[in-house]
Amino acid sequence: MRSLVSVACVLVVVWMCLIVTYCFGRFTGTYVWMFVEEYTGYFFLATSSLGLAYAAAKGAHIRVPILAMRLPKRARLILECICLAVCVWWAVLLTQKMSAWFSHALSVGEVSVVSNVPLWIPYLILVTGCAALALAALVLFYHAVMAAALPSQSTENRGNGAGEL
């Protein structure tokens, strides 16, 4: 998981440098790189999918447990299992869709209209991010099921590295 975060950090730095250079070129009128607009979309997709997987694994996502706090502990654990099962299902479907886009772009040689970049490259990044999200959700689901099945097990450490991949 740390390697995916490292990739996301490098992408953010490269993304920032491209945007600053692009803005400088437009401001001074010396050059205009049209591919930067396209690449910023790719970088946004890559960093968001990788970041979402990391946040899920670390338990850093935002929760609003106002209603769930009123439920008994056992009911909260069951509700958490149901919610995480839906998350796993959604992440797997998303990974399948991104894989289909990747396969199609690779098989037909689809390229970007602006920069002629083969579209399988950004789709591969999306497949990787979505697969990491599915794996992180599956690990969290496993921990939630174990906590629900073994009520004596402490659930306080989940989200603090318990889902570390």
Q: pLDDT truncated to tens, each residue of the chain (165 aa)?
A: 677 778 878 888 888 888 898 888 888 888 777 778 777 877 887 788 777 777 877 777 766 677 777 888 888 888 888 988 998 999 999 999 999 999 999 999 999 887 788 989 888 888 888 888 888 889 889 988 888 888 665 545 455 444 444
Number of domains the chain contains: 1
Domain residues for the domain of 109 are: 2-149
Neighbours of 47 (CB within 10 A): 20
d(CA 96, CA 145): 24
Q: Is residue 49 part of a domain?
A: yes
d(CA 35, CA 57): 33
Which has the closest alpha carbon to 74: 157, 158, 153, 161?
153
d(CA 165, CA 148): 21
pTM of this prediction?
0.67
Q: Is residue 58 part of a domain?
A: yes
d(CA 121, CA 115): 13
d(CA 69, CA 73): 8
- Give residue 118's Cα distance to chain centre: 22
Q: Is residue 156 part of a domain?
A: no
d(CA 165, CA 47): 18
Q: Is residue 158 part of a domain?
A: no
